[in-house]
Structure 1
Amino acid sequence: MKVTQHLWFEKDVEAAVRFYTALIPGSKIAERSAVMADNPSGEAGSVKILSFTIGDQNYMAIEAGPLDPFNHSFSIMVEPETQAELDRIWDALAEGGTVEQCGWVRDRWGLCWQVAPARMRELMSDPDPAVVKRVTEQMMTMVKLDIAPLEAAARG
Structure 2
Amino acid sequence: MAVVDTITPFLWFADCAEEAMEYYVSVFPDSSIDEIMRYSADLEVMGEQFQGMAGKVNAAWFTLAGRRFGCLDGGPYFTITEAVSFAIACADQAEIDHYWEKLSHVPESEQCGWCKDRFGVSWQVVPARMSELVRTPAQMQAMLGMEKIVIADLEAAG
Equivalent in the alignment of 1:76: 86
The Cα offsets for residues 41-84 of structure 1, whole Å up to 9 and x where unpaired, read as 612x4334221122243211111111232222100111221212
Equivalent in the alignment of 2:47: none
Answering whether residue 113 of structure 2 is matched by residue 103 of structure 1, we say yes
| Secondary structure at 2:103 match in 1 | helix
| Secondary structure at 1:87 match in 2 | helix
CA RMSD of aligned residues (A): 1.8
Give me the whole-angstrom Cα distance separating, in 2, the residues matched to 1:28 and 1:88.
Answer: 19
Contact 1:9 1:61 in 2 (8 A): yes
The correspondence for 1:55, drawn from 53, 61, 65, is 65
Runs ≥4 in structure 1, deviation > 6 angstroms? none
| Secondary structure at 2:127 match in 1 | coil
Equivalent in the alignment of 2:24: 20
Report % sequence identity: 36
TM-score normalised by length of structure 2: 0.82
Answering whether residue 19 of structure 2 is matched by residue 9 of structure 1, we say no
| Secondary structure at 2:112 match in 1 | helix
**C-alpha spacing 1:123/1:113, structure 2 compared with 1 (3 Å):** same
Equivalent in the alignment of 1:123: 133
Report deviation, 1:32.
Answer: 1.3
Report deviation, 1:37.
Answer: 2.8
Equivalent in the alignment of 1:37: 41
Contact 1:104 1:113 in 2 (8 A): yes
* Structure 2 segments unaligned to the other structure (5+ residues): 44-49
Equivalent in the alignment of 1:147: 151
Answering whether residue 101 of structure 2 is matched by residue 91 of structure 1, we say yes
Give the letter aligned to residue 6 of structure 1.
Answer: F
The alignment of Structure 1 onto Structure 2 pairs a total of residues equal to 146
| Secondary structure at 1:31 match in 2 | strand
TM-score normalised by length of structure 1: 0.83
Contact 2:12 2:73 in 1 (8 A): yes
The Cα offsets for residues 75-115 of structure 1, whole Å up to 9 and x where unpaired, read as 011122121221121111123x3442101111111111111
